[in-house]
Structure 1
Amino acid sequence: MQLAELNVGYALYPLDDPRMSGFMDNLDALNALAERSSGYIWRMKSDSGNATDLAVPGDEAMISNMSVWEDVESLGDYVFNTIHAKFYEKRSAWFENMTRHHFVMWWVEDGHIPTLEEAMQKLAHLQEHGSTDDAFGWDAVDQSAWRRCNIAAE
């Protein structure tokens, strides 16, 4: 089994607004770092090289990021123990504060590439039921063996 993840949000400003430059100007480098990270398998992207221009079913204002990793530890190491963590800390400068779950993980068969529709169903499941075997958040995994940064996980 491999780990799929979806992260969604609403930008505070249009993506070409100068106030979004701290995020947009670093997106390619962060994605390249993910692709070089141990345990990385796949990430959703359009011809632009990222996913910011891919419409989320039922909510075109939403921005999404989806990827597949070998395991939770590989994803967590990238998210919390690389330069990505610094951008994660600054997310409130670029994205609305989400009042519901906006990040979900779930297990997929080896080689399966999830669709955005599938991912949104997993997020809806997490929002409705909380963390289960079918869809879960950081709260459902033991982070003690790999987490070095002290950033609050949602």
Structure 2
Amino acid sequence: MHLAEVNIGRVLGGPDDPRMADFYGNLARVNALAERMPGFVWRLQDDTGDSAMALHWPGDPTMSVNMSVWESAEALGRFVFQTVHRNIYARKHDFFEAPDRPSFVLWWVEPGHIPTLDEAKARLDHYRAHGPSEQAFGWADLDEAKAWLERRCA
């Protein structure tokens, strides 16, 4: 199984806002790095192919979305926490409003499956309503999610 992720957030300003210079200035570089990482499968992109910043969360056009698929949790983890991405991630509160509920979720997908925004929204809504489960989980639940997957595939 592959691992899908989605995270949403309301940016604090547009590309011309000085507070956002580091975020927008690194967006293309970080996205290109993701695509070169071992284990990368797919990422949501807008019509420019550059990023998904022009795409919005279903039901909330003010919410930006990032979604990708990876061959494994380890591959995603290497990208998120062991590349330049970690520097931007560590500063997320400089660029995005602080969420009042979970804004990130992981779930398993069959190889070759490309999730839709509606599917991602359903997974995040499930996670918000029910907590971690086989349907949707967070970083802290990854070991248990791997066990669920092993039992399901056995």
TM-score by length of 2: 0.89
Greater helix share, 1 or 2? 2
> What is the deviation of 1:16?
3.0
Per-residue Cα deviation, 1:85-133 (whole angstroms, up to 9, x for no partner) = 1111111111111121111010111100000010011000110111111
> What is the deviation of 1:38?
1.1
Q: Give 4+ residue runs of structure 1 displaced > 4 Å after superposition.
A: none
SS at match of 2:61: coil
Match of 1:126 in 2: 127
Count residues in correspondence. 142
Match of 2:19 in 1: 19
Match of 1:82 in 2: 83
> What is the deviation of 1:47?
2.0
After superposition, the Cα gap between the structure-2 partners of 1:21 and 1:78, relative to the gap in structure 1 and judged at 3 Å, is same
TM-score by length of 1: 0.89
Gaps of 5+ in 2: 144-154
SS at match of 2:124: helix
Query: What is the root-mean-square deviation in Å for CA atoms of aligned residues?
Result: 1.0
Identity over aligned residues, as a percent?
50
Gaps of 5+ in 1: 143-154
The correspondence of residues 1-154 of structure 1 with structure 2, limited to 5 A, is: 1-48=1-48, 49-142=50-143
